[in-house]
Structure 1
Amino acid sequence: MIILATFLLIVLFIVFGTLSRKLDVSISLAVGALIYGAVAFGASLWKVSISAFNESMAYILASLIFAMALGFLLKEKGYKIASGLSALGPRAAAFLIPAAIGLLPMPGGAYVSAVVVDPLYEKMGLDRNEKTFLNYWMRHIWISIWPLFQGVLITSAVLGVSVWQVVEWAWPAALFAVVAGVAMGTPLVTNVAIVGRPRDLLALWPLVTVAALSFTIPLPLAVASVYLTYVVVYKVPRVQIIASFKYALNPRILSVIVFSLVFAQYIKESGLSTQLAELLSGYSAFAIFFIPFAVGLATGIEFTFAGLAFPPISPLIHGPALALAFTGGFLGVMLSPAHSCLVLTCEYYGCESARVYKLLLKAAVLVVVLSIAYYMLVFYYR
């Protein structure tokens, strides 16, 4: 119980410390994670910490660095991507641009979509907080159903079913996310005088190529290959290459990723998820939602709730209940101040965290209402 109580207090510390603006998320996350680790492992803290610096961390960091560097270079072509998708209508493009780029499972990928969609949002008169919300939310609507996301693959392995079975069970979670994003975003976007050219969709080739390569080679290699190809094709000058990596190697952002993964390792090694499952064993629906939510909120990483929270509740989520579990994990990750996409988007637009959270919480409440209605319909009135 000490570990569980410590975890809950640490989550509150990270969230409220960040929202109060008195602590940067990179600091609150690092301090919180280390305090939790010290309580959970004592003298073994160093050994457990070292174990977090593994192949998975290298994979994520490499993907993030090249994704951010590619996003930096895409600034110059961003207007063409926006133009191509705007051919479907500017209001539709306001949602479709981050959603389309969201099909790429790149850590920090919301930075790429923020760069691309910014000119359109600017013309629509969105303020910095509205830009942050809309880009950030729509970038993540695919978490529960897109096979390239690690969470879907992990869930398939945990439950012992095919990826497409996971999609069949979890699709309502994605639908609720879309409905909430559109409901919250529609009053914000306006029809502006912008003429999109369908042929400009060709500017999406770097993103489409990354997605295609991701099916055949590791994501870091896919993103790095496209980055190098982009440099060669457009003859990017050395000064721009250096600038792209200078941005990508931002110590603050890298700190958030590293300590998120360290915290996830602490949660895994301490058996916290199992403790939560045992504590909530008599409240199955709440456990299905809350355990993934708590893990997602603490770590801010899309796939950790699948790897850490789903195994102890796996007997409960074979079937439509998986949508509720994914909804909990999705909302936890989306509300986590440690989520690198939120940190990057907020930094790019210069947002005010508290105001963005007001929008996020409104969307989250709508998702919860839809999830409760779905769960009751499926399990109580069938």
Structure 2
Amino acid sequence: MTTIWPLLKIALAFIAILTGIRFKLGIGTSILLGSLLLALLFGVQPLEWATIAAIGIYHEKVLLLGGIVLLILYFSDILERSGQGRRMMNHISGLLHWPRPRLVFFPALIGLLPMPGGAIFSAPMLKEIAAPFSISPQRFVQLNYWFRHVWELCWPLYPGIILAAFIADIALFRLLMFTWPSLVLTILLGWLFFLRPGVLPLTDHAPVAEVSEKRSLAPLLRESLPLLIAVFGSLGLEGLIALLSPEIPMEWGFIIALSAAVTCLVLQNRLPGRMLVTVIKSPHALRMLFLVAAIFAFKAVLEQGGIVDALAGSVSTPTALFWISVFLPFIVGMISGLTVAFVGGVLPLIMGLAANLHIEQTTGYVVLVLFSGFIGVLASPLHICLILTCEYFHARLDEVLKSLALPCGIMLLFAVAYARLIMEFW
């Protein structure tokens, strides 16, 4: 019982966090209160907890991460408000002549923009493109929801993957080198279960909107320029700083590139000052900043409050840590429906336990946590994208969840095998 008791305390703290999220206290508030409960359960006094949390938040890397998240949110908001995101998508869709890629094109393209509930943004576009065909509400939801999330673990603008790289102290570019198979796997499973001719017959291709034979790439490049600056500028500058000036935090590369991308958006659209003020004062942006602060306060409490040391007796082997890395993020992801919840809540714990076990190569555990948690999020009945899409297409949530079970199960088996492979050879 001595070794189980610390695990029970951790479980109680996670239950408190998930309960807070369930009753809409906010993710940041729930995680912060969960860290306080955790501290109290392990004998840390409230004043000491506050000191540990403040030191954990007031750190250069945390402040830089806050700036990156803020700029990404501003970027996505301006793309939507200015209409440039829609124009960019219209230009790209005009280049697609085949009906099946057109059906999933808008969900996948909207997925490049890390906006909350983004699936509801692509749902009307999918409905319009699919108008000539007879498609069931459940199939609409499957296509819109699944292909909206194919980028989640490998697109460098998603706060979840950026946060994971910061917590694990891994260069984002290196982490993406290990997570890119998620894109191939999700597209393949989406095709097999939801899009291939055997499961989605499309009887008439002729009514698909006509596409001109000659379409200039110049307008597309112009509309896509801010996104290209954001993505390739961020990754390029990160690598350049690491190569030429390792003493400078690589996060400055992201901040410079994202600032340039936002500036490009503002200039291209000649945005009025009123719109910029509205974007800057966005409540969602402020909530995300608070969430980042709460996550790193939680991480600091885990590291400095003696909690990982207390857990050492419960998780004493790499094998035990491996299976915790499978099930804990999956459960948190499924119950919360949020990527940042399992990244911020579980990954610091896994990293602390790995350090306690003197495991130097932690990339496999990080990848396993990301895959398992993401699969839990995909299968979650609380995922806002899934709820909104079901409501929009008038589909039954329980039927959609049943159809997601098998592809998610296959992904989980792949995650276990893939993580083992990474641990063995890297």
Name the CA shift for 1:177/1:322 in 2 (closer, same or farther; >3 Å). Answer: farther
Root-mean-square deviation (CA), in Å? Answer: 4.8
The 1:283–1:34 alpha-carbon spacing in structure 2 relative to 1, beyond 3 Å, is same
Per-residue deviation, residues 209-246 of structure 1 (Å, max 9, x unmatched): 01232132432332223212321232111222122223
Partner of residue 373 from structure 2, selected from 329, 332, 336: 332
1:220 aligns to 2:255 (yes or no): yes
In the superposition, relative to structure 1, how do residues 177 and 289 fare at CA in structure 2: closer, same or farther (>3 Å)? farther
Q: Which one of the candidate residues 69, 91, 97 is aligned to 2:74?
A: 69
Task: Return the TM-score normalized by structure 1.
Answer: 0.70
Instruction: Specify the alignment match of 2:247 in structure 1.
Output: none
TM-score (norm 2): 0.64
Change (3 A) 1:157 1:60: closer
Aligned residue in 1 for 2:36 = 34
Aligned counterpart, 1:209 = 229
Q: Tell me the distance in 2 between the aligned counterparts of 1:42 and 1:77.
A: 51
- 1:105 is aligned to none
Q: Pick from 225, 233, 236: which aligns with 2:271?
A: 236
Provide Cα deviations, 1:122-156, integer angstroms capped at 9, x if missing partner. Answer: 43587897688436622313179x9x956468768
Shift of 1:294: 3.5
Q: Following TM superposition, by how much is the alpha carbon of 1:48 offset from its aligned partner in structure 2, in angstroms? A: 0.7
> 321, 331, 347: which is aligned to 1:287?
321
Output the amino acid matched with 1:52. Answer: G
Assess if the C-alpha contact under 8 Å between 1:3 and 1:39 holds in 2: no
1:1-382 correspondence to structure 2 within 5 Å: 2-19=5-22, 21=23, 23-40=25-42, 41-43=44-46, 44-54=48-58, 55-75=60-80, 76-86=83-93, 87-88=95-96, 89-94=101-106, 96-98=108-110, 101=112, 109-111=114-116, 117=122, 119-123=124-128, 124=130, 133-134=145-146, 137-142=149-154, 149=162, 151=164, 175-180=184-189, 186=195, 193-194=208-209, 199=217, 200-202=219-221, 203-214=223-234, 215-216=236-237, 217-247=252-282, 250-270=285-305, 272-273=307-308, 278-282=313-317, 284=319, 286-291=320-325, 294=328, 297=332, 300=341, 302=343, 309-310=350-351, 312-313=353-354, 323=364, 326-332=367-373, 335=376, 355=397, 358=401, 364-372=408-416
**Further displaced range: 265-274 or 212-221:** 265-274
Equivalent-residue separation in structure 2 for 1:332 and 1:183 (angstroms) = 22
1:259-313 CA-partner distances (Å, limit 9, x unpaired): 22322222232354565565244571x5224237636848626588666524643
Is 1:33–1:262's contact at 8 Å kept on the other side of the alignment?
A: yes
- Output one character per residue of 1:312-368: Cα deviation in whole Å (capped at 9) or x when no partner: 4377685xx95565133333256469xxxx77x68997979x959948766543321
Whole-angstrom distance in 1 between the partners of 2:155 and 2:364? 11
Instruction: Tell me which residue corresponds to 1:106.
Output: none
Q: Residue 233 and residue 174 in structure 1: after superposition, are their counterparts in 2 closer, same or farther (change >3 A)?
A: closer
- Alpha-carbon distance between aligned partners in 2 of 1:325 and 1:290, rounded to the nearest angstrom: 12
The change in CA–CA distance for 1:371 and 1:62 in structure 2 (over 3 A counts) is closer
- Structure 1 residue 24: Cα displacement: 4.5
Q: CA–CA distance in 2 between the matches of 1:347 and 1:218? A: 36
Identity of aligned residues (%): 13
Shift in CA distance, 369/171, structure 1 to aligned 2, threshold 3 Å: same
Is the contact between residue 88 and residue 220 of structure 2 (CA under 8 Å) also seen in structure 1?
yes
Letter aligned with residue 281 of structure 2? K
Q: 1:150 to 1:33 in 2, by over 3 A?
A: closer
Letter in 2 for 1:49: A
Contact 2:363-2:422 within 8 A present in 1 as well = no
Give unpaired runs (5+ residues) of structure 1. Answer: 103-108
What is the CA–CA distance in structure 1 between the aligned matches of 2:314 and 2:183, rounded to whole Å?
28
C-alpha separation in 2, matches of 1:270 and 1:132: 43
Q: Counterpart of 2:84 in structure 1: which amino acid? A: K
CA 1:292–1:60 in structure 2 vs 1: closer, same or farther (change >3 Å)?
A: farther
| Contact 1:85/1:97 (8 A) holds in 2 | no
Q: Report the CA distance shift for 1:184/1:13 in structure 2 as closer, same or farther (over 3 A).
A: farther
Question: Letter of the aligned partner of 1:11 in structure 2?
Answer: F
Letter paired with 2:354: I
Q: Distance in 1 between matches of 2:413 and 2:269?
A: 48
Q: Find the aligned partners of 1:11 and 1:189 in 2 and give their Cα distance.
A: 44
Deviations 1:80-138 (A, max 9, x none): 22234433431342454155x27xxxxxx244965874553343587897688436622
Distance 1:258 1:378 in 2: 31
Query: Contact 2:145–2:389 (CA<8 Å) still a contact in 1?
Result: no
Task: Please say if residues 52 and 300 of structure 2, whose CA atoms lie closer than 8 Å, have aligned partners that are also in contact.
Answer: yes
Instruction: In structure 2, list runs of 5 or more residues that go unmatched.
Output: 238-251, 334-339
Aligned pair in 2 of structure 1 residues 240, 184: CA closer, same or farther (>3 Å)? farther
Classify the secondary structure of the residue corresponding to 1:138: coil
CA contact (8 A) 2:104 2:144 kept: no
